[in-house]
């Protein structure tokens, strides 16, 4: 019996770096995969597996890529000249419409200021409630971003005083669950239950920078 036929196409891409303090991070890649022409009639009722493989070659092989894939639910019949060639110098903004009004952060943003984290958490909260549908990958991303900013505003949460958030935003997500259990740098993770404010905000800022890059492949802080 002959093995099932498969087709494969390989593209090599060199992502840019974003520098945060003394560290450099590879920018996320936005990849679209399209299949020209209709599906053959005999395959219409079949599940067609699509295997996506990402390889960091050479010395970059020490880095582990994280791949998220989801179906483009609506068929878009776009003319060929609107498709993006990864080898062309197309601006990143034309690759994906990112309606994230709270980014980039203002050049005056100070991650050591709980007041600025409070303002950011309000902006993210407003965006989640008013603009993002659930379930949606951006909702999950925004939910974690909100809780990071919220904890930046109230580093002793759930202790001491903190503001009430919109009831449509659940106390869920990888970050906040880890924070409440003491796994994300909260005071509960220290033997004496004491963590300096500076250390807490520094930890949250580092996590926020990494998290934002998952959906926002642009400089995090405005230069203007």
What gap in Å lies between CA 172 and CA 193, rounded to an integer?
23
Residue 27: count of CB within 10 angstroms of its CB: 15
Q: Helix 174-181 vs helix 137-153: angle between axes, to the nearest 10 degrees?
A: 40
d(C-alpha 108, C-alpha 222), whole Å: 9
Q: Which residue has better confidence, 16 or 175?
A: 175
Phi, psi of 205 (to 5 degrees): -65, -45
Tokens of 102: 């709270």
Asked if the structure places residue 77 within a domain, the reply is no
- Model confidence at 191, in pLDDT bands (50, 70, 90)? very low
Residue of 60 and 90 predicted with greater confidence: 60
Task: Confirm whether 17 is domain-assigned.
Answer: no
pLDDT value at 145 more than 90: yes
Which of the pair, 1 or 122, is modelled with greater confidence?
122
User: In this predicted structure, what is the pLDDT of residue 68?
Assistant: 66
Residue 157 per-residue DSSP state: T
pLDDT at 122: 96
Which tokens belong to 160? 């001491």
Q: Is residue 47 part of a domain?
A: no
* SS3 (DSSP) at 77: coil
Spatial contact of 211 and 145, defined as CB atoms under 8 Å apart? yes
Distance (Å, rounded) from C-alpha 202 to C-alpha 200?
Answer: 5
Residue 105 lies in a domain: no
In a domain, 66, yes or no: no
Question: Which residues form the domain of 127?
Answer: 114-212
Q: How far is CA 13 from CA 47, 83, 89, 114, in A?
A: 29, 17, 12, 39
Domain tally, the chain: 1
The confidence score (pLDDT) of residue 195 equals: 62
Q: Has residue 122 been placed in a domain?
A: yes
What is the C-alpha to C-alpha distance for residues 114 and 153, in angstroms, rounded to an integer? 4
Residue 132 lies in a domain: yes
Arithmetic mean of pLDDT, 148-175: 92
Torsion angle, alpha carbons of 125, 222, 201, 115, to 10: -60
> What is the pLDDT averaged over residues 150-162?
91
- What is the per-residue pLDDT for 133? 75
Helix axes 114-131, 197-212, angle to 10 degrees: 30
3-state secondary structure of 25: strand
Task: Let me know: does 194 contact 120? Beta carbons within 8 Å.
Answer: no
Check pLDDT > 80 for residue 36: no
83, pLDDT greater than 50? no
Mean pLDDT of the 149-163 span:
92
* pLDDT for the residue numbered 169: 93
Q: Collapsing DSSP states into helix, strand and coil, what is residue 19?
A: strand
Q: Provide the pLDDT confidence category of residue 186 given band limits of 50, 70 and 90.
A: low
With bands split at pLDDT 50, 70 and 90, how would you rate the model's confidence at 197? confident
**68 belongs to a structural domain:** no
Side-chain-side CA neighbours of residue 186 (13 Å): 21
């Amino acid at each position: 019996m002959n093995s099932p036929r498969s087709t494969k196409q390989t593209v090599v891409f060199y992502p840019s770096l974003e520098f945060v303090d003394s560290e450099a991070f590879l920018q996320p890649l936005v990849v679209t995969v399209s299949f020209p022409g209709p599906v053959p009639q005999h395959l219409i009722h079949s599940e067609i597996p699509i295997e996506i493989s990402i390889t960091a070659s050479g010395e970059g092989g020490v880095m582990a890529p994280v791949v998220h894939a989801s179906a483009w639910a609506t068929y878009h019949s776009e003319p060929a000249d609107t498709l993006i060639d990864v080898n062309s110098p197309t601006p990143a903004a034309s690759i994906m419409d990112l309606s994230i009004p709270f980014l980039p952060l203002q050049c005056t943003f100070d991650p050591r200021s709980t007041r600025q984290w409070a303002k950011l958490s309000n902006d993210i909260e407003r965006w989640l409630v008013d603009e993002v549908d659930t379930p949606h990958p951006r909702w999950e991303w925004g939910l974690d971003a909100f809780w990071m900013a919220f904890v930046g505003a109230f580093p002793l949460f759930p202790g001491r005083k903190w503001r009430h958030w919109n009831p449509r935003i659940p106390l869920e997500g990888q970050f906040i669950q880890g924070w409440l259990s003491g796994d994300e740098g909260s005071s509960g993770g220290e033997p004496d239950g004491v963590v300096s404010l500076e250390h807490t905000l520094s930890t949250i800022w580092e996590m926020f920078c990494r998290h934002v890059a998952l959906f926002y492949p642009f400089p995090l802080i405005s230069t203007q």
